[in-house]
Structure 1
């Protein structure tokens, strides 16, 4: 019965807030920032107010020439209105193409070319400082969410426009385009349909149904990631108050949590890592959290333990979802406060029964094991339709009905999936770099990040970041690393200097390149 109820609730981006407002019109949405498209609304809004804002924005987009099936690239300053703009674009039957505000102008131009002369929704700051002049020639029209530009149409400056009724597109039609992390180069554009988003919604909504009490839900997830839309659907359609964070600055997060006391908290693994310091805040900003949720990557065991310890609830739970932009969540694992200290952090859980499936394919004819991992492949209805403009690249990842994740791992006899490395990050003869990083973080409290990358001419190099950038104690380091495979001396960096994706993943290939460049400059 529960699965049937979940299946009957669609995400349907264009009317998501409208349907949520019909059920819970006065439900609160609290932001840690002002909306660029409507700063006068302040930081505490109702779902009804946001639904009206989306309807007005959709009408302004229509008045600017956007029509059903048109693509609209959204590349603007980091703000929750990126997500709201996607809903407005979908409301008139067009297709939002969401690009991270952190991308550079040259990369954005490449992705605009792949989108095939789309409209561009941006702002004055991006036009003045980041985007090349050629975007005007490569776009069907340039629209502004904030600011002014002589060659662009400012949506807020348009006179009153008649409200356009929602346009419902077929569920097999593209409804959203997001991009992959870009850890290995220029991001790929992932095309989602109503069907694929709904398939991702079902397992997540089934798990979320265990949360009975309407407690505030705090979310810090990239505004351009597909995960945010399923999280919003689950939260808003059930009437949970929502807290939305634009960044993961620990001080700002602590202030918001101390004031609003969330019961559910979701963010990226690396953001949880940065929030470990909130445990020492005398206000205990995480005390009311019972449910912690993390997607995207496996999370470090130390971080899980610290989050669970920070909660004052007698039975807190940390839920980890393993997935990918192309397929959504495919496996899950729950941690509790009673979890053994030696639990394997590389274990990312089991597939969702009846919804997702997993297998690990041998690379050499031998059974995949911890010492000889294989290719992780998944099968799910949540798989994207294609990579926009790169069909061959998409086809290369398909193995019949299976999708190769680009990760290496193995399954235990009980079926639990263990993730050991990305294929491109594997270091011959070293073993799992992720497991080694888990070990170092467990043994050295002063570390807030450690990334092991191939050395330019020798053993792997651990790049480390410490609390408040304090100098690393090399004696403690040597002791912590003594049981691990040989590594070069650690290179200490500031966390802010590490190249990151929109979901705070570290770009390991880019970091390795920068490490070589920094070494060459020092010679």
Structure 2
């Protein structure tokens, strides 16, 4: 009998859909795109069919030589079949290694070299693009593709009909999944999750799932290579929700899709929510039935929560703001309503998950942590990863017994509410909190789609702005809006699409600062 992820000390992502299908096989998965590995599948599939496709792909991978504990690096075009292929790898006891489709070829080759001669699972888009000319033979055991076979590449298409295999369930503390960090500070680190640590992340998310009604529709736009995708699907499938998986986040597509399916639950990255703000007055009322919005990965601006909650026609819709990290999963959180979202403190990250997570603040300079003197945020959680692959010393530098220092700085209120002011690497001299300044300006200038403060060539606070429609920024209006804020340089305006982002849509601040510094130096 397969293990139920709600009743063991390990979460086995390769068997989650099969468990869900045993209870509710007709629950639907809606797709706004076809699958690269199964081009005939698009539109709708049931959870029963999803489980069968995962079983089928697991059989094909086994026929290709993949065995328990082998590493399967998945680097392909952005598509829901990434979830299917990762689950299939896990089903036969292999360790899926999730590499973002946005990674360049050089970074991908470096991460492959760090691994233990993995199987590379890819497609023609990557082989003819970022990986063209790469020496894959020396860093991989074999190259597998969802596209047609070619010299030196095994096609999964040619392995259709391979004998099915029983699932392999390794010990809870064995590696179960590898994901890379956001990549905001150079070459990503490969975070190793065990079955036990994944279950530690599943527990608090399962609590949120209990607020959702079986049979409702959940719409999700999440990175397929992030651990959140696998935990989110585990919660939604086990709860029996219909799931709409969104690839195309363009406002017109979202308005049409949400206006048609009327989701009761919506989860995506904060930046996507910001872009969807423009739809609050759309006559199709895409958010009218949403009872619960959920955001993680990064802080979200209070004005965004306020506008989206007001777009719902439900009696008491809520917006959950969750603070988490790639290495630890969800850590703190709180919910907002129409009554308080507009006056929310954007730096507030809420409270620990009762009985699951804890945090403490550690002095940075010998002084007691406070708003004026923020301390290191350290957390304790059963969801903490077991290491960085190939970088044990790097991981150990951030681990202090059961506590983990993730690089954020903040303070705590008298009632124990955690507030994040900045990542340590993003602190700018003279600016108390870059995130706090950004919140304030975005609240005052509704024409801004995004504002990012980065250090300029002389470490001055340099605002980078993007307007919603690409219209020129009114500099006089800007100056009035920032008159009472810390001193900043004149803003630089760029198109929203030119902001460098991670797989979870976070702005890569260090990379952005480097690009602007080079441009300013070249122009001087």
TM-score bracket, normalised by the shorter chain, equals over 0.9
The answer to whether residue 189 in structure 2 is matched with residue 163 in structure 1 is no
Cα deviation, residue 64, structure 1: 0.5
Q: 1:76 maps to which residue?
A: 76
Tell me, in whole angstroms, the C-alpha distance in 1 between the residues paired with 2:150 and 2:308: 46
* Secondary structure of residue in 2 paired with 1:235: helix
Structure 1 segment 173-192 matched on structure 2, within 5 A: 173-192=174-193
Cα deviation, residue 159, structure 1: 4.9
Q: 2:497 maps to which residue?
A: 496
Q: 1:394 maps to which residue?
A: 395
Q: 1:232 maps to which residue?
A: 233
- Assess if the C-alpha contact under 8 Å between 1:7 and 1:202 holds in 2: no
**Relative to structure 1, is the Cα distance of residues 499 and 261 closer, same or farther in structure 2, using a 3 angstrom cutoff?**
same
Tell me, in whole angstroms, the C-alpha distance in 2 between the residues paired with 1:448 and 1:388: 37
Q: 1:123 maps to which residue?
A: 123
Cα deviation, residue 426, structure 1: 0.3
Tell me, in whole angstroms, the C-alpha distance in 2 between the residues paired with 1:326 and 1:421: 18
Structure 1 segment 187-266 matched on structure 2, within 5 A: 187-266=188-267
- For residues 376-399 of structure 1, give each alpha carbon's deviation from its aligned partner in whole angstroms, at most 9, with x where no partner exists: 000011100010010000001112
Structure 1 segment 125-140 matched on structure 2, within 5 A: 125-131=125-131, 132-140=133-141
Q: 2:319 maps to which residue?
A: 318
- Assess if the C-alpha contact under 8 Å between 2:334 and 2:350 holds in 1: yes
Q: 1:376 maps to which residue?
A: 377
TM-score in terms of structure 1 length: 0.97
Tell me, in whole angstroms, the C-alpha distance in 1 between the residues paired with 2:367 and 2:442: 32
* Secondary structure of residue in 2 paired with 1:191: strand
TM-score in terms of structure 2 length: 0.97
Q: 2:465 maps to which residue?
A: 464
- Assess if the C-alpha contact under 8 Å between 2:462 and 2:491 holds in 1: yes
Q: 2:299 maps to which residue?
A: 298
Q: 1:42 maps to which residue?
A: 42
Cα deviation, residue 55, structure 1: 0.6
The answer to whether residue 43 in structure 2 is matched with residue 20 in structure 1 is no
Tell me, in whole angstroms, the C-alpha distance in 2 between the residues paired with 1:258 and 1:284: 6
Tell me, in whole angstroms, the C-alpha distance in 2 between the residues paired with 1:100 and 1:55: 24
The answer to whether residue 54 in structure 2 is matched with residue 54 in structure 1 is yes
**Relative to structure 1, is the Cα distance of residues 187 and 247 closer, same or farther in structure 2, using a 3 angstrom cutoff?**
farther
Tell me, in whole angstroms, the C-alpha distance in 2 between the residues paired with 1:60 and 1:320: 40
- Assess if the C-alpha contact under 8 Å between 1:258 and 1:285 holds in 2: yes
**Relative to structure 1, is the Cα distance of residues 152 and 330 closer, same or farther in structure 2, using a 3 angstrom cutoff?**
same
* Secondary structure of residue in 1 paired with 2:137: helix
Cα deviation, residue 210, structure 1: 2.0
- For residues 391-413 of structure 1, give each alpha carbon's deviation from its aligned partner in whole angstroms, at most 9, with x where no partner exists: 00000111221000100100001
- Assess if the C-alpha contact under 8 Å between 1:6 and 1:206 holds in 2: no
* Range that drifts further, 370-379 or 150-159: 150-159
* Secondary structure of residue in 2 paired with 1:363: coil
* Secondary structure of residue in 1 paired with 2:68: coil
* Secondary structure of residue in 2 paired with 1:39: coil
Cα deviation, residue 247, structure 1: 4.0
- For residues 351-375 of structure 1, give each alpha carbon's deviation from its aligned partner in whole angstroms, at most 9, with x where no partner exists: 0111000011111222211111010
- For residues 63-86 of structure 1, give each alpha carbon's deviation from its aligned partner in whole angstroms, at most 9, with x where no partner exists: 001011100100000001111111
**Relative to structure 1, is the Cα distance of residues 316 and 494 closer, same or farther in structure 2, using a 3 angstrom cutoff?**
same
Cα deviation, residue 7, structure 1: 4.8
Q: 1:66 maps to which residue?
A: 66
- For residues 286-330 of structure 1, give each alpha carbon's deviation from its aligned partner in whole angstroms, at most 9, with x where no partner exists: 111110000111111111111111111120100011010000001
Tell me, in whole angstroms, the C-alpha distance in 2 between the residues paired with 1:252 and 1:10: 38
**Relative to structure 1, is the Cα distance of residues 235 and 9 closer, same or farther in structure 2, using a 3 angstrom cutoff?**
farther
Q: 1:88 maps to which residue?
A: 88
Tell me, in whole angstroms, the C-alpha distance in 2 between the residues paired with 1:7 and 1:436: 45
Q: Which consecutive residues of structure 2, in runs of 5 or more, have no partner in the other structure?
A: none
Tell me, in whole angstroms, the C-alpha distance in 2 between the residues paired with 1:116 and 1:417: 39
Tell me, in whole angstroms, the C-alpha distance in 1 between the residues paired with 2:519 and 2:257: 38
* Secondary structure of residue in 2 paired with 1:41: coil
Task: Name the count of aligned residue pairs.
Answer: 520
Q: 1:423 maps to which residue?
A: 424
* Secondary structure of residue in 2 paired with 1:136: coil
The answer to whether residue 336 in structure 2 is matched with residue 335 in structure 1 is yes
- Assess if the C-alpha contact under 8 Å between 2:74 and 2:121 holds in 1: yes
* Secondary structure of residue in 1 paired with 2:205: helix
The answer to whether residue 452 in structure 2 is matched with residue 454 in structure 1 is no
Cα deviation, residue 6, structure 1: 4.6
Aligned structure 1 segments of 4 or more residues deviating by more than 3 angstroms:
4-11, 520-523
- Assess if the C-alpha contact under 8 Å between 1:124 and 1:148 holds in 2: no
The answer to whether residue 353 in structure 2 is matched with residue 352 in structure 1 is yes
- Assess if the C-alpha contact under 8 Å between 2:209 and 2:239 holds in 1: no
Tell me, in whole angstroms, the C-alpha distance in 2 between the residues paired with 1:10 and 1:243: 27
Tell me, in whole angstroms, the C-alpha distance in 2 between the residues paired with 1:341 and 1:169: 47
Tell me, in whole angstroms, the C-alpha distance in 1 between the residues paired with 2:404 and 2:268: 25
- Assess if the C-alpha contact under 8 Å between 2:9 and 2:196 holds in 1: no
Tell me, in whole angstroms, the C-alpha distance in 2 between the residues paired with 1:303 and 1:495: 17
**Relative to structure 1, is the Cα distance of residues 387 and 24 closer, same or farther in structure 2, using a 3 angstrom cutoff?**
same
What is the Cα-based RMSD across aligned positions, in Å? 1.4
Q: Which consecutive residues of structure 1, in runs of 5 or more, have no partner in the other structure?
A: none
- Assess if the C-alpha contact under 8 Å between 2:109 and 2:134 holds in 1: no
